[in-house]
Structure 1
């Protein structure tokens, strides 16, 4: 049955919430075993999970053009994840997510250039309203001079944000030519193969006590991939991009609960502006046509 734009938007927001929860689990792993081993073993677990979902139901292998999209997104996703998680270990979660919010703004322009979508006036207002919240947050954080290590983390996260903007557009392209389980499986496989290139030099077998968090990170990552692939098959990238801003709320929560990272008043003020931007976006084109659910 057809799904309303608001339902698709809510699904994308749920996918972001789950993905943000995975970020918290991964940050703990990166601090314990390093970024490479975290990425490698989480991806290996993810291949097992997504393979169990996709392989028994597949109707044939992807075409060459579809595989090309899988390869491009997998490569971009690898660079995006490594730079983000490396930076995440060096800055508070809320700050890392705030920095990454340049991505949805870039998506507005990339979706026009690559997907031939149109940017509605409401979508621009929504993203600018949410980005104003990010400015409030960053202005407050600028009062504290970062250490050299934190500055390096900030640069890494900004690089990741540029990759993530492209990744959001690729997510839309990928979702239009492949089902959610195929997207999740090939994303895991391609990232895993790229990481394995450095395994002889960098890989270590983690202690058994890290097995639970690694599997949990893989489960959360797989679930978020499936939900986001479903949503991006039914909504334009420029429409769903503002859901990325909700990640800040979850990052603030998990940063406080798991890593004792305080949330300042200006952070809360910025979060309210972010929510306002998303509410503007969800009302966009209530009559927009969406594809039927699978």
Structure 2
């Protein structure tokens, strides 16, 4: 039986989300005993050679980067460093499913910020979905409730940093390979972890901790590879919504490893965030198809230039 491109893309995206969630679960487990920044540094040292190997085998290494792109990639790396600090700090104290659910608001936040600061069009349908989705986030973080903590704010801050990272990514020239961008970020995050460890000191991880770090690095690489593959197979409007399978993986792993099940309000908020995010992704893909079809119908001598 031969699978369609859309079905293969959906399966690959599901595997990518499983891998990223496994990485999160393993990092949450190891940072219960190993200092956070040491765990970040060790995971980076394990991940970076694999990323370099991937870049080399796919001709994705670029050493001559124009000054403008070099500046943008540095800004992107800085945003990713902050996102890593905020996210993993929150992960140490928040239930896995809660934090993953908060992170699923990312497509909504990117769409809103792109409309506000980059002038990208935003219709009332997507704006309504964004507002409803952010209402779902409030159900998850519970502001003003006893369950709301500083770590909930750290989780929200990580989303803000990732939004900044993704918006900067849109400005990087298409000639820069994705592998080079990923390696640049990995170097920055690893260097940050090592720099903090030079001040705070390091200790030799136990065999169990080393095993968790190695497994987290492996899961992270699998996630990177499969997310790239997912974007190259099938229709993006069909494949992208399967990002939200991360919520299912997070609930399952949170229960199996940490014995945590999300509250009713967290489950309801997660469903709202996922539903509005899927609608936003579907709507954006539909609008993109419409613009592409309109561009095809425009005569060559037309003065109209379609948006890029």
Q: Same fold (TM over 0.5)?
A: yes
Aligned match of 1:88: 91
Cα distance in structure 2, aligned partners of 1:6 and 1:170: 31
The superposition leaves residues 234-278 of structure 1 with CA deviations (integer Å, 9 ceiling, x where unpaired) of: 9xxxx9997765543332222111100122333333333333224
Alpha carbons of structure 1 residues 208 and 259: separation in structure 2 relative to 1, 3 Å = same
Aligned match of 1:74: 77
Alpha carbons of structure 1 residues 208 and 171: separation in structure 2 relative to 1, 3 Å = farther
Aligned match of 2:268: 269
Cα distance in structure 2, aligned partners of 1:232 and 1:74: 22
1:193 to 185, 191, 194: 191
Aligned match of 1:123: 126
Cα distance in structure 1, aligned partners of 2:172 and 2:18: 21
Aligned match of 1:179: 177
Aligned match of 1:46: 47
> Conserved in 2, the CA contact under 8 Å of 1:94 and 1:252?
yes
Alpha carbons of structure 1 residues 135 and 276: separation in structure 2 relative to 1, 3 Å = same
The superposition leaves residues 200-251 of structure 1 with CA deviations (integer Å, 9 ceiling, x where unpaired) of: 22333312222222122112223333444567799xxxx9997765543332
What's the Cα RMSD here? 3.8
Cα distance in structure 2, aligned partners of 1:131 and 1:10: 28
User: How far 1:84 moved relative to its partner?
Assistant: 1.4
> Conserved in 1, the CA contact under 8 Å of 2:16 and 2:223?
yes
> Conserved in 1, the CA contact under 8 Å of 2:27 and 2:39?
yes
Cα distance in structure 2, aligned partners of 1:37 and 1:115: 37
Alpha carbons of structure 1 residues 163 and 133: separation in structure 2 relative to 1, 3 Å = same
Aligned match of 1:135: 138
Alpha carbons of structure 1 residues 162 and 242: separation in structure 2 relative to 1, 3 Å = farther
Aligned match of 2:249: 250
> Conserved in 1, the CA contact under 8 Å of 2:61 and 2:179?
no
> Within the alignment, does 1:18 sit opposite 2:16 as a pair?
no
Cα distance in structure 1, aligned partners of 2:10 and 2:170: 14
SS of the residue corresponding to residue 33 of structure 1 reads coil
Alpha carbons of structure 1 residues 254 and 62: separation in structure 2 relative to 1, 3 Å = farther
Cα distance in structure 1, aligned partners of 2:10 and 2:144: 32
Of the structure 1 ranges 36-45 and 20-29, higher mean CA displacement relative to structure 2 is found in 20-29
Cα distance in structure 2, aligned partners of 1:282 and 1:107: 11
| TM-score of the superposed pair, with normalisation by structure 1 | 0.77
Aligned match of 2:208: 209
Alpha carbons of structure 1 residues 282 and 155: separation in structure 2 relative to 1, 3 Å = closer
Aligned match of 1:112: 115
> Conserved in 1, the CA contact under 8 Å of 2:105 and 2:277?
no
User: How far 1:14 moved relative to its partner?
Assistant: 5.5
| TM-score of the superposed pair, with normalisation by structure 2 | 0.74
